[in-house]
Structure 1
Amino acid sequence: MSRNRLQDLIPRLVLSPSLALILIFVYAFILYTLYLSMTDSRMLPSYGFVGFENYEKLWNLRHWWRALGNLAIFGSLYIVICSVLGLFLAILLDQKIRGEGFLRPIYLYPMALSFIVTGTAWKWFLDPGIGLESTMHQWGWTGFEFAWIKDRNLAIYTVVIAAVWQSSGFVMAMFLAGLRGVDGEIIKAAQMDGASNVTIYRRIIIPMMRPVFLSAFVVLAHLAIKSYDLVVALTGGGPGQATELPATFMYSYTFTRNQMGIGASSAIIMLVMIFSIIIPYLYSELRPGRQR
């Protein structure tokens, strides 16, 4: 075997086990879930084919519509607030302020935590009996109330608060990298023309960062759709079903209510949601003739 051919073969041999594992434990199980969604599976897998019956049942469940409604509220607020806050922090750090090297790790630290840890910490913090409300009462602010986590109408917003706290630093890092990648000559030319910093950011820098905004949207939307552990740790989907999301719905119907077929169909719907975001993004990034 020639040396060049061996050099070409070694990387394939090294990557082939990982590729095989991905094909089995990701794509094969996706196909298996798709098949289960078309069977009469309940507590255990069953192979009685029922077609799209589980999907019809799913879309007739008020519980599922409640989960979708909560996802719309959570996802929209989560994406918008993380994007705005991340951009603001990135612009702040881009001013070459003192202590930038100290502030960056502080902003990024929450992303190093698991969503379980974040949910548990915020559950303690927001609990009226031991958290913020109790502390304010001990300090003499006896009229202070903050019991959103116990309120059916407001509990979903506590999930937004915890998720934004964890992810905004990561979005800040994405925007900061985009800001630092802008050609300095363009900025200098605008400054020579008398443009203020606000005008430079609004008319030049931010429009040039559209790919970063798109990337941030894709990442945040993906995290929102598959949010599970944060909700479980923070509210458990309650009170009632006030913070139920599609991921927690899928788990409860599959493993608690013994409706595996309906749970599998909800998982496929979630997968379609993610594909509907990622595929257009990949097309825009990989299409021939794309302007860089």
Structure 2
Amino acid sequence: MAGFSREVARRIFTEELKSSNYSFRDGEDQHQYAPQYLLTPTGAKCNRVFMVGILTEKDDIGGDTEYWRGRVVDPTGSILIYAGQYQPEAAQILANMEAPAYVAVVGKPNLYQTEDGNIIISLRAEAIQRVDEETRNQWIIDTARRTLERLQVLSSTSPATISDDFATADKVSAAATPAQDAQRAREHYQTDIDHYRQMVIRALTSLEGDLAEGRSKAKDAPATPTAKPESGIGESRIESEAGIEEPPAAEKVTPAAKRPRSKKIESLDAWPEQDSDEEVETFHIGKKS
């Protein structure tokens, strides 16, 4: 469709995503078809989210038609993903996938408010693909960098009293700058910057343990030809439909050292890195061959 472009899918850790409760629509008319965004505590403005983690469970909760639900875990928590008749490719892949498995997911955040006022966030999956451990490991590094970049912008803003106008979210524009997004996030959430820095440290610490274990196994293993990942989701398939926030081309992030790491299967991480400063990269999560 000429002139159509997808919203960039942002790299967000699960803990931050599930702490978000501020949504708004773009455009002056605020009509039902205007893009809807979720502003996170660190100032990420998300219409779509890109995450990589471990699919720990799945089930078909549909009646007459299949409607699949899965739980995906990253180093900071878990989130439910859904795929049904309006996401046929994602639903088919989820139906045929065995858990546990490393998966990459592109989806739209879905907010549901309970009767007692709590906000529950899930992802409506647009695309799902099985990936390998290296992909998972790179995703956590890229997501950590992006989170730290947002925290740096956030730390340069000044906390302000929440205004009645802001609470309605009716004047927020998708054309806002990252600094404006950060200011709005800090006003709405009163963001604890140190809390999210510690979240990043925990995520990187879990990655450090996984990499150390992988190096130990590689040292003891006999030399064999390197096999292609089963998923085929390497950089050769990053060219296509689902626009993904570009991995930051910053200096290497070293996982935090000498912090205890609990041996939980929920420790996850990852996505392959591209050297570029651009915000948008294309990423194909296509049909399996």
> Would you say same fold, with TM above 0.5?
no
Higher helix share: 1
Higher strand share: 2
TM-score by length of 1: 0.26
TM-score by length of 2: 0.26
Relative contact order, higher structure (CA 8 A, sep 6+): 1
